[in-house]
Amino acid sequence: MGAMRIALTGSSGLIGKALARSLRADGHDLVRFVRREPTRAGEVRWDPAAGYVDPAGLRGCDAVVHLAGAGVGDHRWTDAYKREIRDSRVLGTAAVARAMAALDTPPPVLVSGSAVGYYGDTGSRAVDEDAPAGTGFLPSVTVEWEAAAAPAREAGIRTVFARTGLVVAGAGGAWAKLFPIFKAGLGGRLGSGDQYWSYISLEDEVAALRHLIVTPSLSGPVNLTAPEPLTNREVTAAMGRVLRRPTVFAVPAPVMRLALGEFAEDVLGSQRVLPARLSASGFVFRHPGIEESIRAALA
């Protein structure tokens, strides 16, 4: 496939930055939506809270990738921050979907960020895209977040929800917080360690998003997780092996809840999410296992 013109929100985030780098390296034309006044070529203004998207940035695009949203693990979950988590996703998605639908010739595909938080706590039960939404704050946010893209779907735009797991990366997300602790030899399981973590390497996340853009058979929810979710205990052991550090310190669940507030439930909760649709569509993982994902993040 030749060079494409792709509009991107959330280009300053962990995944957005990596995706932008990858697309540019392959000669694709990128339109970055920014919330400030544009200062560089290829930047276009949007204001998700006000529901405004400059339509000029969408015209002539082959795809829109919408990744913007307040970080779930960036702050303690006060009522105000929970509102920001929700509004930044729901209002932003609605604004993008409406702006696309209003164009005479809209971009043919919207890849909209989502999360495995949709499924809630699944315990040791494996789930794929056919599973229903769970209960609690993150599942309810994710349901609203995906529903906000309705104007695009109703306009006949192929809409894909990239339900992303825990991204294994050195520069952001959960792993950026874990690496320094484990390198210091203070790493260990969290709570019981029996909870499943559905992870994906940053490189596979970017490759999967690009796969969603160019695979016409994919629409609706697609789980972006490695093929074999592992327990926190197994992830802890892998971190110890790769970093050659002891992993004897366990963080008791009450301490986690005290330190992280409600976000602790997300870390202590168990999500065993399988990438059924991604795998069935022919996607090949570069880092299917946890050790190679950790090594890639450290490289």
Q: pLDDT (tens digit, 9 = 90+) per residue, 62-75?
A: 999 999 998 887 78
Q: Side chain identity at 57, as an amino acid letter?
A: G
Predicted model pTM: 0.96
66-109 residue pLDDT tens? 999 988 877 888 899 999 999 999 999 999 999 999 999 999 99
Q: How many helices (H) and strands (E) does the chain have?
A: 11, 14
Residue 116: band (very low, low, confident or very high) from pLDDT cuts 50, 70, 90: very high
pLDDT of residue 256: 72
Asked if residue 122 has pLDDT above 90, the reply is yes
Q: How far apart are CA 133 and CA 119, in angstroms?
A: 5
Tokens representing residue 282 in the block: 């022919």
pLDDT of residue 257: 78
240-278 residue pLDDT tens? 999 999 999 898 888 777 767 777 777 788 999 999 999
**CATH code: domain of residue 249:** 3.40.50.720
- Tally of CB atoms within 10 A around 293: 27
27-67 residue pLDDT tens? 999 999 999 999 999 999 999 999 999 999 999 999 999 99
- Tally of CB atoms within 10 A around 259: 11
Residue 172: band (very low, low, confident or very high) from pLDDT cuts 50, 70, 90: confident
Mean pLDDT of the chain: 94
Tokens representing residue 145 in the block: 């977040």
Q: How far apart are CA 19 and CA 210, in angstroms?
A: 8
Q: How far apart are CA 214 and CA 71, in angstroms?
A: 27
pLDDT of residue 262: 76
Q: How many domains does the chain have?
A: 1
pLDDT of residue 105: 97
Domain of 15?
Answer: 5-298
Residue 10: band (very low, low, confident or very high) from pLDDT cuts 50, 70, 90: very high
Asked if residue 119 has pLDDT above 90, the reply is yes
Q: How far apart are CA 230 and CA 215, in angstroms?
A: 28
As a whole number of angstroms, the longest Cα–Cα distance in the chain is: 60
Q: Let me know: does 45 contact 54? Beta carbons within 8 Å.
A: yes
H-type alpha helices, 102-147: 137-147
**Residue 140 class from Cβ within 10 Å (0-12 exposed, 13-18 middle, 19+ buried)?**
middle
For the chain, what percent of residues have pLDDT higher than 90?
85
Asked if residue 1 has pLDDT above 70, the reply is no
Asked if residue 237 has pLDDT above 80, the reply is yes
